[in-house]
Amino acid sequence: MACRETASPVASSGPAVRLCSAPPRSPLLKHTILFLAANPLGTERVALDEEARAIHEELERTGHRDSFELVTRWAVRPLDLLRELRKLKPTIVHFSGHGGRGDSRPGAGPHRDVVGEPDAVDERQQGGLFFQGTNGQPQLVSTAALKETFGAAGSSVRLVVLNACYSEVQAEALLAHVECVIGMSGSIGDDAARSFAIGFYGTPAGLVGGSDPMKTESRPMPTKSVVDLRT
* Cα–Cα distance, 153 to 92 (Å, whole number): 13
Let me know if residue 43 belongs to a domain. yes
* Cα–Cα distance, 228 to 11 (Å, whole number): 28
Kindly report the pTM of this predicted structure.
0.74
- Please provide the DSSP assignment of 124-160 as one string: HHH-EEEEE-TTSSEEEEPHHHHHHHHHHS-S---EE
Let me know if residue 3 belongs to a domain. no
Instruction: Collect all residues with Cβ–Cβ distance below 8 Å to 86 and sequence separation of at least 6.
Output: 153, 154
* Model pLDDT for residues 129-177, shown as the tens digit of each residue: 999 998 999 999 999 999 999 999 989 999 999 999 999 999 999 999 9
Q: Which of 1-10, 29-38, 60-69, 204-213 has the highest mean pLDDT?
A: 29-38
Residue 190 belongs to domain with CATH number: 3.40.50
Phi then psi for residue 37, to 5 deg, are -125, 140
Let me know if residue 7 belongs to a domain. no
Let me know if residue 79 belongs to a domain. yes
How many domains in the chain?
1
Let me know if residue 80 belongs to a domain. yes
Let me know if residue 154 belongs to a domain. yes
Mean pLDDT across the chain: 77
First-to-final CA distance of the chain: 40
Let me know if residue 8 belongs to a domain. no
- Helix, strand, or coil (residue 111): strand
* Model pLDDT for residues 85-119, shown as the tens digit of each residue: 999 999 999 999 999 875 544 343 455 554 444 33
* Cα–Cα distance, 165 to 17 (Å, whole number): 19
- Helix, strand, or coil (residue 84): helix
Let me know if residue 24 belongs to a domain. no
> Is 55 in contact with 33 (CB distance < 8 Å)?
yes
| Strands 92-101, 128-132: pairing kind | antiparallel
